[in-house]
Structure 1
C-alpha cells in the first residue's frame, strides 16, 4: 500500500510557515490524494497529547478510512511499551524505530537485551517493529541483530538513502535487508556541487530524477507481493520562502505518489 508520512509534510507542520498544518490536516491532505495510509513518524506532539486528543486523532483517521502506522526514535523498553499502547489507540499494525534515540546510544548487546524485553508485547498485540536503516548503525550489524533475535514481529524499515552517509551503497543495503523488510521509506536523493565546486551537498531530489534505483528495490524486495507498505517522505531543503517551500513539498508528494502508482 502507498502511504504518506509526516516527513512528507515536514515544512507544512513546521513553525517556519504562517499556519502550520495539524495532524488531522495531514490526514485530510493524504486522503485528498487518494492515499489510505499515514505514518505518524517522529512527530513530537504525539507524545504530549492527552488521552482525549489521541482518541480524537485516531477517530479522525478512522472516519477518513486511513490506516495509521507509528514511528519513534529509540528502543528503550519503556519507549517501546508506550508505542505498543499508542498502536492500540490508533489500531496501528506497525511501529518504526531506530536503535538510537536523542538520549540513548546502546551497544549492540544492550540493544539486543532491550529488544528481547520489549518484543513480547509486540508479539502479543500483533504489531510489527521495523528498525530503520541509517548511517549511525552498519546495515550488516542491524541485520545481524534482527537475525539473532529471530522474532517474526521484528524487521527492517528500509531507507537506503540514509546509509550513503556511512559510505554504504544503497543497492547493497537493499539486497542485505530484503528478507527482513517490513516497511519502506520512499524518497529520491542526489549529490549537487556546492558553490565554487568545493565539495558536495547530499539531499533530496524529485522522485525519478535522483540516484535511487527504485526498480531495483521493487525487484529485490517485492513489496507489492509481500504486502509491505511504501511510505512517501522527502529531503526537501527550504526554498527561500514559505509559499514556495509548501508548494514544492506538495508537488514532490504528488509526483512520488504518481511514480509509485505508475510502477504498480
Structure 2
C-alpha cells in the first residue's frame, strides 16, 4: 500500500477552484509537491496530464518510484478511451472515473423513476470503455462518488466481468449512500483497485446528518480497520490518494421519505446500523461551515486546506509505519 496525493482535496491551494485566484498547478508541480511531502504517488486529472510533457512525466515518476493514477469522469467510452491511452503513455495503471446521476450527497430525487435505465446506460458505456482499457493494459476503477451504493457497484463489476474493471473506494463516501464505511469496504474489497482516503465529521440534522470535511484520522472513519481489510483482501500494490472532503458540507437526508425510492432495498437492520453509527459519532450542534462556506478569503481557505492536508499526511504515514512495524515483528516471532 502506498500513500499519495489527489488534487481534489485542496482545490484552492491547487488552483482548481474558480474562486481561488490562483493558476492551476501543473502535473510537474504536483509531483514535486508530493515528493517534498514524502508521498509515494499522485492522482492527476486527465486535463492536467494532457497539458503536460507525458514522456517527461513518465520518466520523473518511474525514476522516483511514484505511482500515477489518472482521474477522469463519466462513462462515455470515447472519453474514457482517451484517458486510458493517456494513462498507458505515462505509465499509470489505473483510470479512476465516476458515474454521477445522483446529486452529491446520495440525492436521487432528480432521477426519480429513471435510475434503473441510467444504471444500464452506465454499465453499457463502461463495458465499451473497458475494451479499450484491456487493449492499453490499464484498468478502469469506478468510484463510489456519493452516487452508487455498494449493491450497484458490485453488480457493475460482476456484469462487466473484466479484470481490467474494478472500483475506487472513497473511504468517506459510503455514508452518503447510508452505509457504514468499514462494512462497505469489506463488501467491495474483491473488486478494489484504488483508494481515496477521506474522513468526515458528522453533524445531526432534522432529516438525517451532514458530512463535513476534516483531517484524516480526526473524523468517524476507522482507518486501522480499513487498512486491515486492504492488507487481507486488497491488491498487493494498492494506490491510496489523500483526498480531503469537499469544501461544502454534504446533507444526507436518510430520514426523508423521498431519499429512498430509487435505492436498492435495505433491511431495517442495515438502516439501524448506519443510524447508530451516525448517532454514536455525531458532534454537538455548532457552526459546521468550512471557511469557504463562511466566505473567507481565498488565502484563508488555501491555508485551511494545507493545514488539513499536512495533518492527514502525518496521520497516514504514522499509521502505515505502525502497521509495517507490526508486520515485521510478526514475521520475526
Relative to the length of structure 1, the TM-score reads 0.83
Deviates more, 1:171-180 or 1:222-231: 222-231
- Which structure has the larger Rg over C-alpha atoms? 2
Corresponding residue SS for 2:96:
strand
Cα gap change, 1:190 to 1:246, in 2 (>3 Å): closer
Q: Which residue, 180, 189, 195 being the options, matches 2:191?
A: 180
1:5 equivalent to 2:14? Answer no
Report 1:48-63 matches (<5 A). Answer: 49=51, 53-62=53-62
Q: Which residue, 144, 165, 175 being the options, matches 2:155?
A: 144
Corresponding residue SS for 2:11:
helix
Cα gap change, 1:25 to 1:125, in 2 (>3 Å): same
Query: Quick check: 2:26–2:48 contact (8 Å CA) kept in 1?
Result: no
Query: Quick check: 1:232–1:256 contact (8 Å CA) kept in 2?
Result: no
- Which blocks of at least 5 consecutive residues in structure 2 are unaligned? 103-114, 248-289, 325-333
Report the CA distance between 1:58 and its aligned residue.
4.5
- Number of equivalenced pairs: 256
Report the CA distance between 1:40 and its aligned residue.
0.7
1:255 equivalent to 2:321? Answer no
- Distance of 1:2 and 1:64 partners within structure 2: 14
Q: Which residue, 210, 219, 236 being the options, matches 1:226?
A: 236
Query: Quick check: 1:28–1:64 contact (8 Å CA) kept in 2?
Result: no
Q: What residue in structure 1 maps to residue 106 of structure 2?
A: none
CA-to-partner distance for each residue in 1:157-189, whole Å, 9 max, x for gaps? 011311212222212211210111111111221
Q: What residue in structure 2 maps to residue 170 of structure 1?
A: 181
Q: What residue in structure 2 maps to residue 88 of structure 1?
A: 88
Cα gap change, 1:229 to 1:53, in 2 (>3 Å): closer
Q: What residue in structure 1 maps to residue 217 of structure 2?
A: 208
CA-to-partner distance for each residue in 1:14-44, whole Å, 9 max, x for gaps? 2544554433221111001222311114x65
Q: What residue in structure 2 maps to residue 24 of structure 1?
A: 28
Deviates more, 1:124-133 or 1:21-30: 21-30
Q: CA RMSD in A?
A: 2.9
- Distance of 2:36 and 2:88 partners within structure 1: 26
Report the CA distance between 1:74 and its aligned residue.
0.6
Relative to the length of structure 2, the TM-score reads 0.67
Q: Which residue, 127, 139, 142 being the options, matches 1:128?
A: 139
Cα gap change, 1:201 to 1:35, in 2 (>3 Å): same
Report the CA distance between 1:246 and its aligned residue.
4.6
